Amino acid sequence: MVHELTKKEIIKEIVKSGKNPTYFINSYCKISHPLRGSIPFKTFGYQDDLLEDFNDHRFTIILKARQLGISTIVAAYVVWLMLFHKDKNILVMATKFSTAANLVKKVKAIMRNLPPWIRIAEISVDNRTSFILSNGSEIKATSTSGDAGRSEALSLLVIDEAAHVEGLDELWTGLYPTLSTGGRCIALSTPNGVGNWFHKTYIESEQEENDFKPVSLPWDVHPERDQEWFAKETKNMSRRQIAQELECNFNTSGETVIHPDDIERLKDMVREPKYRTGYDRNYWIWEEYQQENNYMVVADVARGDGADYSVFHVFKLETMEVIAEYQGKPSLDMYSNILKQVGSEYGDALVVVENVGIGISVLEKLIDLEYPNIYYSVKGTHEFVESEVAESSKNVIAGFTTSSKTRPLIVAKLEEFVRNKLINLYSSRLHNEFTTFIWNNGKPQAMRTYHDDLVMSLAIGCWVRDTALTVNQRKMNYKKACLDSIVTSRTRMSTQIPGQMGYDKDYARKAAEQMADYEQYSWLLKG
């Protein structure tokens, strides 16, 4: 038999519920269970903590695994806020209108299943995706493509699946003023890679650089989940799906060009440079020049508008280690001199400069500075040509040309090098760029507001090393073999006497030609 409350008890319960959302939800709210139907809402500890955060902080950002009941606890909190507070204006926003509408429906369902005596305000205006209570509190759903909420004061903004909302940076700029009168915000989502508003806001909140209270809720916060549950749940899931749906891992959840597992592996390589030097201390060195090694410097030049960086990598060719790196914004003249100095310090290393835009000016400056080992290639084929030959060759251009044709090729080569563990990287700056280097409509590029200068410089280096220089090495080996035979042939007995063994009427001319070839290519025989 159910005890009927007296008027005094009802008033007491209403007052107690109005002061404590946790008590109200656990005592009077019901939720819909897929198998058991309508059941009392009994919160878990992590849900109770969330309710406290909602009350104690104006802004809460929740990085969550799926199926933890976070949307449901938010809906229950909204019921409490609307019921026991007058004139609350609540907006639920998501990238899809249906997602926002579903949360509003949860709020309405919980409201209607309350005991009549505690429902101190009734639904007076009821629409499919919005409703208004008799106390003036209202809630509505909207998609991020709509204009709802942009010009009205909000008591609470709920952004559902915030990591999946495109252009939320700009949207937030417009929405934030609507909360200026004391309004609150709850942003919740599974991760969706890095670089988006949700990722940046969450990371900044952890570093206390904004007003959001960060809450991380991976799969194992649920008391009924264990390793057996995890193994069963992830049996048919990809690594990216596991990271996104269960582990709350930003770095392995996005559609990055480089596989998330490889990005994680590269993270383990990251270490502090031995030196941070240069005029701006942005020249990082992990290993100095060693005479027994060959080196290559690959440079990507900034556009000149101040928005991106001029960068370069120093590669050890034998092991494809990146043993030095620069990222900064020097003038063109300064950058050209830096490249010449670095190239010289690393044994007159081959300097490869992207020749797009003002990169041509850098190349011209290097030529004027008489740097001896600049990368040249045949137009169209990108076949490598040595500096000595380039001066007298037609259809040859200094530097490497990144175009719509070559960009996919060099990115593919970079992915191949990383996937096959053929390259060693130590830079935190470079690793960070990998995490924001994504597929955008089938094109590999940095996320908006992020950079890919270091990534593209690295990609050019991988391509040049594995294609142009490899092909050239085969040609060099062939020439060296021919020259070796020339050297050997010069020791043979020869004569200009007719009838004698070794007689060759053109001996003098051929000997002169051979000697000329030997002198021209003698540098190939060193070592």
In a domain, 229, yes or no: yes
pLDDT for 522 equals: 47
What secondary structure does DSSP assign to 114-140, as a single string? S-GGG--S-EEEEETTEEEETTS-EEE
Regarding whether 167 and 284 lie in a shared domain, the answer is no
Question: What is the C-alpha separation between 312 and 315, in angstroms, rounded?
Answer: 10
In a domain, 252, yes or no: no
| Strands across the sheet containing 123-127 | 123-127, 130-133, 138-143, 89-94, 156-160, 184-189, 59-64, 212-217
Question: What is the C-alpha separation between 83 and 158, in angstroms, rounded?
Answer: 17
In a domain, 474, yes or no: no
Question: Which two tokens mark 490?
Answer: 């010069």
Question: What is the C-alpha separation between 250 and 193, in angstroms, rounded?
Answer: 5
E-only strand ranges, 130-274:
130-133, 138-143, 156-160, 184-189, 212-217
pLDDT for 348 equals: 95
CATH of the domain at 135: 3.40.50.300
Of the candidates 221, 213, 215, 266, the residue with the CA atom closest to the CA atom of residue 246: 221
Domain boundary among 226, 247, 268: 247
Domain count along the chain: 3
Going by the DSSP 8-state scheme, the letter that residue 495 receives in this structure is B
Regarding whether 191 and 133 lie in a shared domain, the answer is yes
* CA-based torsion, 362, 368, 372, 374: positive or negative: positive
Residue with tokens 């709802």: 148
Regarding whether 288 and 212 lie in a shared domain, the answer is no
Question: Which two tokens mark 173?
Answer: 């700029």
Question: Which two tokens mark 24?
Answer: 């109200």
* Three-state SS at 205: helix
Regarding whether 283 and 388 lie in a shared domain, the answer is yes
Regarding whether 64 and 200 lie in a shared domain, the answer is yes
What is the helix (H) or strand (E) element at residue 277, kind and residue range? strand 275-277
> Do 448 and 298 touch, CB atoms closer than 8 A?
no
Regarding whether 116 and 209 lie in a shared domain, the answer is yes
Regarding whether 294 and 154 lie in a shared domain, the answer is no
Biggest CA-to-CA distance, the chain: 136
> Do 425 and 325 touch, CB atoms closer than 8 A?
no
- Tally helices (H) and strands (E) across the chain: 18, 21
**pTM for the whole thing?**
0.62
The whole domain housing 439 covers: 260-469
Regarding whether 235 and 290 lie in a shared domain, the answer is no
From first CA to last CA, the distance across the chain in angstroms is 100
pLDDT for 470 equals: 66
Domain boundary among 196, 216, 247: 247
Question: What is the C-alpha separation between 496 and 65, in angstroms, rounded?
Answer: 90
Query: Other CB atoms closer than 10 Å to residue 510's CB: what's the count?
Result: 12
> Do 261 and 440 touch, CB atoms closer than 8 A?
no
pLDDT for 515 equals: 61
Beta bridge partners of 353: 299
- 381-416 burial, b at 16+ Cβ within 10 Å, e below that, comes to ebebbbbeebeeeeeebbbbbbeeeebeebbebbbe
E-only strand ranges, 389-462:
396-398, 437-440, 443-446
Question: 288: burial class by Cβ within 10 Å (0-12, 13-18, 19+)?
Answer: exposed
In a domain, 331, yes or no: yes
Question: What is the C-alpha separation between 240 and 245, in angstroms, rounded?
Answer: 8
CATH of the domain at 420: 3.30.420.240
Q: Where are the alpha helices (DSSP H) in 464-502?
A: 469-489
In a domain, 478, yes or no: no
Regarding whether 205 and 345 lie in a shared domain, the answer is no
Question: Which two tokens mark 158?
Answer: 């709920």
Regarding whether 326 and 234 lie in a shared domain, the answer is no
As a whole number of Å, the CA-based R_g of the chain is 34
Domain boundary among 247, 274, 302: 247
In a domain, 25, yes or no: yes
Going by the DSSP 8-state scheme, the letter that residue 30 receives in this structure is E
**What distances in angstroms separate CA 210 from CA 50, 159, 203, 300, one per listed residue?**
19, 17, 10, 34
In a domain, 381, yes or no: yes
* pLDDT tens-digit profile, the chain (527 residues): 456 889 999 999 999 999 999 999 999 999 887 677 789 999 999 999 999 999 999 999 999 999 999 999 999 999 999 999 999 999 999 988 999 999 999 999 999 999 999 999 999 999 888 999 999 999 999 988 756 556 678 999 999 999 988 889 888 988 999 998 899 999 999 998 877 899 889 989 998 999 999 999 999 999 999 999 999 999 888 877 888 889 888 866 668 899 888 988 999 999 999 999 999 999 999 999 999 999 999 999 987 666 789 999 999 998 999 999 999 999 999 999 999 999 999 999 999 999 988 899 999 999 999 999 999 988 777 778 877 777 777 788 899 988 888 888 899 999 999 999 999 999 999 999 998 898 877 788 888 778 999 999 999 999 999 887 765 554 445 444 555 554 444 444 444 545 444 455 565 566 566 566 555 544 444 33
Question: What is the C-alpha separation between 378 and 384, in angstroms, rounded?
Answer: 7
* CA-based torsion, 373, 379, 380, 386: positive or negative: negative
Question: What is the C-alpha separation between 313 and 297, in angstroms, rounded?
Answer: 6
3-state secondary structure 46-107: HHHHHHHHHHHCCEEEEEECCCCCHHHHHHHHHHHHHHCCCCCEEEEEECCHHHHHHHHHHH
pLDDT for 146 equals: 55
Regarding whether 360 and 215 lie in a shared domain, the answer is no
* CA-based torsion, 90, 94, 97, 101: positive or negative: negative
Regarding whether 96 and 122 lie in a shared domain, the answer is yes
> Do 203 and 216 touch, CB atoms closer than 8 A?
no
pLDDT for 356 equals: 86
* CA-based torsion, 271, 272, 274, 276: positive or negative: positive
Of the candidates 73, 112, 75, the residue with the CA atom closest to the CA atom of residue 92: 75
> Do 122 and 150 touch, CB atoms closer than 8 A?
no
pLDDT for 357 equals: 85
In a domain, 485, yes or no: no
